[in-house]
């Protein structure tokens, strides 16, 4: 059995849904299908998930959201009409939304999650209905009935371990199962969602649970590219990547897969195939456990802004046992994860994501480090971007860092920090956000 996941752009219009159904039914192994909510029909359009967030926020603010509700129903109506489905499904979708609004709630996050999840839930009902109308044995699967249980972290849920065993039962079923992505249920029965883009995570959990032959992730590109096609003209298409390479690239801004997607499939060694709904004959990119390194040391270049560094200086820091632990403990107590810790003998920088540090947290952390650790100076570096050179072939390959730094120098990019883990699968450069595009282009030109 294969697990296939279709993203929002693959479900945005009736025409797209028809392509999705043609792909599903062209291979009898494609039996477990995960769908996103309808995405944008065109560039100026809004994703259904964003419409639902707006609906929920309007309701919380104003106590009503009729206009927003009818706009969401309208999106599904256009798709259903194009598919030749009757009014019944539209009435069902409208009722589904009204019921969600009318159910009480004791906190706003719970309500927003319940509304957000309606996008995928109704998308799955619609696709199942269309397949049935064409004579296929298809069924909408409810994540609660199937046993997809998540932590009760609204908007940021994690899968609970018992879900894998529950979901493994799906492999005994005969129908084409249409499973909504992006959400599951807490143990107390509330709807909880993954982070944005989380339908990828649902697909990965299902693939791991049923030990799928492959997890096919259908999107709107032919393959993963060695650099962002918006920056580099005709970048090299990648036919094979390892999980580690994909994880590093996704971390640093490759938006093809949600960052957390690979963990469940990686543990089971299930291959992931990124493919294009609009060009299903293209073989796409395979993500696998190991690969033969054929085309040079570097597989791809990625970069992302939105980071900041907390730079701490203290004379004789290297002799002070426990210094690093004390810094990280202060961050831990503020629930801030760290990304990298480049250091020198008297310096340590902790790189964190800017969006996680509000002004209050930031000043508490600064004060505590200055006061509790008696440091000589503490400063914040804003506008930090990370650019990563990634490739399994870099292991024991001499001169990659030299080529990368030379390319950055030629591009006029100042390197603020450098970090390479012992796996040698990536080299990270910390640079100013304003240099990011230039850095990616310079590195791409050097290695490809
Ligand atoms: N519909 C959700 C979002 O827009 C989840 C997804 O598409 O994966 O984030």
Are 224 and 272 a contacting pair, CB within 8 Å?
no
Are 141 and 49 a contacting pair, CB within 8 Å?
no
What's the rounded Cα separation, in Å, for the pair 32 and 332?
39
Q: What crossing angle do the helices spanning 118-133 and 108-116 adopt, rounded to 10°?
A: 20
The model's pLDDT over 317-330, given as tens digits with 9 standing for 90+, comes to 999 999 999 999 99
Per-residue CA distances from 293 to 51, 263, 265 (Å): 44, 23, 22
Pocket probe mutation, ligand 1, options 8, 56, 220, 255, max atoms within 8 Å of Cβ: 8
Phi-psi group of 24: left, alpha or beta (phi > 0 → left; psi -120 to 50 → alpha; rest → beta): alpha
Average of per-residue pLDDT across 205-227: 95
Q: pTM for the complete prediction?
A: 0.89
Q: How far is the CA of 34 from the centre of ligand 1 (A)?
A: 12
- In terms of DSSP H, where are the helices of 219-285? 243-251, 262-268
What's the rounded Cα separation, in Å, for the pair 273 and 219?
11
Residue in 125, 123, 103 with CA at minimum distance from that of residue 114: 103
50 CA: nearest ligand 1 atom = 4
- What single DSSP character describes residue 224? E
Q: Assign 240 to helix, strand or coil.
A: strand
What's the rounded Cα separation, in Å, for the pair 3 and 213?
8
The model's pLDDT over 334-357, given as tens digits with 9 standing for 90+, comes to 999 999 999 999 999 999 999 999
Q: How far is the CA of 221 from the centre of ligand 1 (A)?
A: 17
The model's pLDDT over 87-142, given as tens digits with 9 standing for 90+, comes to 999 999 999 999 999 997 788 999 999 999 999 999 999 999 999 999 999 999 99
Q: What is the pLDDT of residue 372?
A: 94
Structure tokens at 94: 């409208």
Are 74 and 68 a contacting pair, CB within 8 Å?
no
Report whether pLDDT(41) > 90.
no
For ligand 1, residues with CB inside 6 Å are 7-8, 36-37, 47, 49, 119, 181-182, 196-200
Parallel, antiparallel, or unpaired: how do β-strands 426-432 and 417-420 relate?
antiparallel
Q: How far is the CA of 268 from the centre of ligand 1 (A)?
A: 25
Domains of the chain plus CATH, in order, are 2-288 (3.40.1160.10), 300-447 (3.30.2130.10)
Q: Residues 417, 422, 427, 433: what is their CA dihedral angle, to the nearest 10 degrees?
A: -40
């Amino acid at each position: 059995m294969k697990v296939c996941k279709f993203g929002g752009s693959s479900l945005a219009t009736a025409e797209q849904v028809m392509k999705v159904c043609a792909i599903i039914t062209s291979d009898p192994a494609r039996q477990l299908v995960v769908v996103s909510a309808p995405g944008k029909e065109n560039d100026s359009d809004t994703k259904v998930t964003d419409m639902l967030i707006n609906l929920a926020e309007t309701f919380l603010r104003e106590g009503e959201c009729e206009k927003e509700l009818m706009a969401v129903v309208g999106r599904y109506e256009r798709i259903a009409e194009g598919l030749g489905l009757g009014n019944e499904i539209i009435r069902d979708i409208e009722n589904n939304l009204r019921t969600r609004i009318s159910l009480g709630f004791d906190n706003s996050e719970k309500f927003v999650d319940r509304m957000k999840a309606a996008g995928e839930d109704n998308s799955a009902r619609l696709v199942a209905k269309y397949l049935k109308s064409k004579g296929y044995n298809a069924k909408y699967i409810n994540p609660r009935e199937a046993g997809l249980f998540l932590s009760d972290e609204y908007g940021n849920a994690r899968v609970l371990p018992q879900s894998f065993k529950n979901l493994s039962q799906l492999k005994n079923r005969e129908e084409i199962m249409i499973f909504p992505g992006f959400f599951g249920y807490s143990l107390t029965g509330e709807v909880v969602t993954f982070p944005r883009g989380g339908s990828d995570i649902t697909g990965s959990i299902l693939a791991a649970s049923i030990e799928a032959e492959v997890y096919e992730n259908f999107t709107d590109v032919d393959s993963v590219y060695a650099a962002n096609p918006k920056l580099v003209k005709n970048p090299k298409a990648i036919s094979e990547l390892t999980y580690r390479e994909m994880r590093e690239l996704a971390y640093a801004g490759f938006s093809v897969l949600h960052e957390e997607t690979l963990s469940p499939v990686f543990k089971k060694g299930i291959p992931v195939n990124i493919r294009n709904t609009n060009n299903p004959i293209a073989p796409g990119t395979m993500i696998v456990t190991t690969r033969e390194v054929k085309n040079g040391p570097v597989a791809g270049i990625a970069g992302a802004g939105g980071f900041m560094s907390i730079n701490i200086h203290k004379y004789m820091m290297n002799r002070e046992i426990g210094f690093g632990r004390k810094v990280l403990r202060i961050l831990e107590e503020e629930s801030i994860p760290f990304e990298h810790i480049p250091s020198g003998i008297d310096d340590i920088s902790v790189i964190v994501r800017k969006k996680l540090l509000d002004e209050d947290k930031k000043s508490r952390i600064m004060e505590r480090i200055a006061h509790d650790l008696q440091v000589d100076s503490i400063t914040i570096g804003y506008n930090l971007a990370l650019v990563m050179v990634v490739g399994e072939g870099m292991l024991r390959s001499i001169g990659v860092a030299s080529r990368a730094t030379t390319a950055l120098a030629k591009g006029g990019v100042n390197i603020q920090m450098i970090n390479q883990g012992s796996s040698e699968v990536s080299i990270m450069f910390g640079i100013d956000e304003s240099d990011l595009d230039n850095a990616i282009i310079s590195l791409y030109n050097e290695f490809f």
